[in-house]
Amino acid sequence: MAKRKTKFVCQECGYESVKFMGKCPACQQWNTLVEEVEASAVKGRAGYTSDTASSQKPEQITAIETKEEPRMTTRMREFNRVLGGGVVLGSLVLIGGDPGIGKSTLLLQISAQLAEKELPVLYVSGEESTRQTKLRADRLDIKTDALYVLSETKLLDISKQIEEINPSFVVVDSIQTIFKEEVTSAPGSVSQVRECTMELMRIAKTKGIPIFIVGHVTKEGSIAGPRLLEHMVDAVLYFEGERHHTYRILRGVKNRFGSTNEMGIFEMKEEGLREVMNPSEIFLEERSQGAAGSTVVASMEGTRPVLVEIQALISPTSFGNPRRTATGVDHNRVPLLMAVLEKRVGMMLQNQDAYIKVAGGVKLDEPAIDLALAVSIASSFRDHSTKPDDIFIGEVGLTGEIRRVSRIEQRVQESVKLGFKRVICPKNNLDGWNYPEGIEVIGVSNVQEALEIGLRQ
């Protein structure tokens, strides 16, 4: 009898070793190597044989006919926007998020909306029974005969049901619970996740069925399993938000069929997720009038401008090293802007604690928010409020200059819609376009000039 061969596989990055090691040399994580049995050499890797090899031949790129990829649209325009206009046929999409954030609720609502168009939809749940899924469907008021629910974890049986039903849309919740019998490791391991995803990708590409798979996340917030998983799929979506707040953000971090800068905002209700069509009003509805340290910035999220309030609290420190805390913005950007204010404006901030927060739980990462951050810090330090109808847009350089930003027209148009009266922006952005009526656009060239205008009563 042939000796059974084993190997040790890192459950974080997929690194393989012939012997056990306490620390993975690839990802530097401790106690992540797990012993697994190697696949039989006769069957090949995970049961694949040479018969499964592709018979396609290479074609000249100039001879390939191209056409617009057809898309399936849902009633959730925010969901369609994040995907680039709808669900592409034959695509494999991975969606991740914290436990209880609403991933299953979102996908069940999307499945029901597509099923109402008389398109057969298969919802596979490896974590819940069919009765438990029906309880959620009753809460969401889902009543359609075209939605099929399957509680199964064996990939072979799932493939057979896809063959029989021939659905137009498939959801697998979640990939960490699905297993392939040819792979000897436990469900959720690196080998199982990789091989099951590869099989689902084959089904999606050969049959033209869009498949959405749910992925668990680690305590660091990244999707569990090998990084290869995100490279294999066509799109990666993250469902973000605080569990104790009602607003959820769907953000695309990879999309082969659209932009990765789009963001969809939803509100969690008792009857399910409801899309928020005008997020700027939501983020500004509880803003305090006349409070020092509060500014508003027009940030671009994909093709849509979003107006968000930035709050700063500057107070004398009680310790040797002042604290720098930031929520919703890059932590390293706060000390950088404080150094610019101290060097170029003359503010003594080295003995001050700084607390920065973006209201509403949204995360901003574009350079155009620098000016609003700097003005809010200066406003709190001087205890001098800004005008409630001012918008601040611009990137701040290390020499204190205000640099040009992109899509200034869309940002100003959104400011006009919400009733703001002044926009303080880079001077280099003033040429080449017509200002809308009802708003004053002021160009500034450095931080000192912006503070003189923004903090003037």
**The Cα angle at residue 424 between residues 423 and 430, in degrees rounded to 5:** 90
Print the domain residue range for 382: 282-454
> How many folded domains does the chain comprise?
3
Domain-located, residue 215: yes
Tokens standing for 367? 């350079």
Give the CA-trace dihedral at 100, 106, 108, 111, to 10 degrees.
Answer: -160
Q: pLDDT at residue 375 above 90?
A: yes
Q: Tell me: do 194 and 150 sit in the same domain.
A: yes
Three-class SS of residue 190?
A: helix
Strand partners, 237: 95, 252
Tokens standing for 323? 């604290």
Instruction: Please say whether the beta carbons of 199 and 160 come within 8 A.
Output: no
Q: pLDDT band at residue 47, thresholds of 50, 70 and 90? A: very low
Q: How far apart are CA 377 and CA 319, in angstroms?
A: 20
The binding site for ATP comprises 97-104
Instruction: Please say whether the beta carbons of 215 and 95 come within 8 A.
Output: yes
Q: pLDDT band at residue 45, thresholds of 50, 70 and 90? A: very low
Task: Tell me the mean pLDDT in the region 95-99.
Answer: 89
Q: pLDDT band at residue 221, thresholds of 50, 70 and 90? A: low
Instruction: Please say whether the beta carbons of 439 and 422 come within 8 A.
Output: yes
User: Which phi and psi angles does 54 have, rounded to 5°?
Assistant: -75, 140
Q: Where is 17: in which H helix or E strand?
A: strand 16-17
Q: Tell me: do 36 and 97 sit in the same domain.
A: no
Q: Tell me: do 273 and 289 sit in the same domain.
A: no
Task: Tell me the mean pLDDT in the region 68-96.
Answer: 91
pTM over 0.95: no
Q: How far apart are CA 442 and CA 439, in angstroms?
A: 10
Q: What is the pLDDT of residues 275-315, one digit of tens each?
A: 988 888 888 888 888 889 999 999 998 778 999 999 999 99
Q: pLDDT at residue 222 above 80?
A: no
Q: pLDDT at residue 249 above 90?
A: no
Domain end call among 255, 277, 299: 277
Domain-located, residue 36: yes
Cα dihedral sign, 155-157-159-162: negative
Q: Tell me: do 207 and 293 sit in the same domain.
A: no
Q: pLDDT at residue 452 above 60?
A: yes
DSSP secondary structure letters along 18-57:
SS--SB-TTT--BS-EEEEEPPPTTT-GGG--GGGS----
Q: How far apart are CA 152 and CA 280, in angstroms?
A: 42
Domain-located, residue 50: no
Strand partners, 149: 123
| pLDDT at 54 (0 to 100) | 52
Task: Tell me the mean pLDDT in the region 366-378.
Answer: 96
Average pLDDT across the chain, whole number: 88
Q: Tell me: do 342 and 401 sit in the same domain.
A: yes
Tokens standing for 60? 């000249």
Domain-located, residue 412: yes
Q: Tell me: do 26 and 79 sit in the same domain.
A: no
Q: pLDDT at residue 226 above 70?
A: no
Range in 47-51, 123-127, 193-197, 221-225 the model is least confident about: 47-51
Range in 122-136, 237-251, 282-296, 388-402 the model is least confident about: 237-251
Q: pLDDT at residue 253 above 70?
A: yes
Q: Tell me: do 190 and 85 sit in the same domain.
A: yes
Q: pLDDT at residue 50 above 50?
A: no
Q: What is the CATH number of the domain that holds 289?
A: 3.30.230.10
DSSP secondary structure letters along 55-109:
------GGG----PPPEE--S-HHHHHHHTSSEETT-EEEEEE-TTSSHHHHHHH
Domain end call among 234, 259, 277: 277
Q: Tell me: do 416 and 400 sit in the same domain.
A: yes
Higher pLDDT, 21 or 362: 21
Higher pLDDT, 389 or 14: 389
| pLDDT at 46 (0 to 100) | 45
| Percent of the chain's residues with pLDDT above 90 | 59
| pLDDT at 259 (0 to 100) | 83
Residue 341 falls in which region: left (phi positive, over 0), alpha (psi -120 to 50) or beta: alpha
Q: How far apart are CA 5 and CA 187, in angstroms?
A: 20
Q: Tell me: do 250 and 151 sit in the same domain.
A: yes
Domain-located, residue 53: no
| pLDDT at 287 (0 to 100) | 85
> How long is the chain?
457
Instruction: Please say whether the beta carbons of 248 and 129 come within 8 A.
Output: no
Q: Tell me: do 166 and 29 sit in the same domain.
A: no
The binding site comprises 97-104
Domain-located, residue 428: yes
Q: pLDDT at residue 3 above 70?
A: no
| pLDDT at 219 (0 to 100) | 66
Q: Tell me: do 230 and 354 sit in the same domain.
A: no
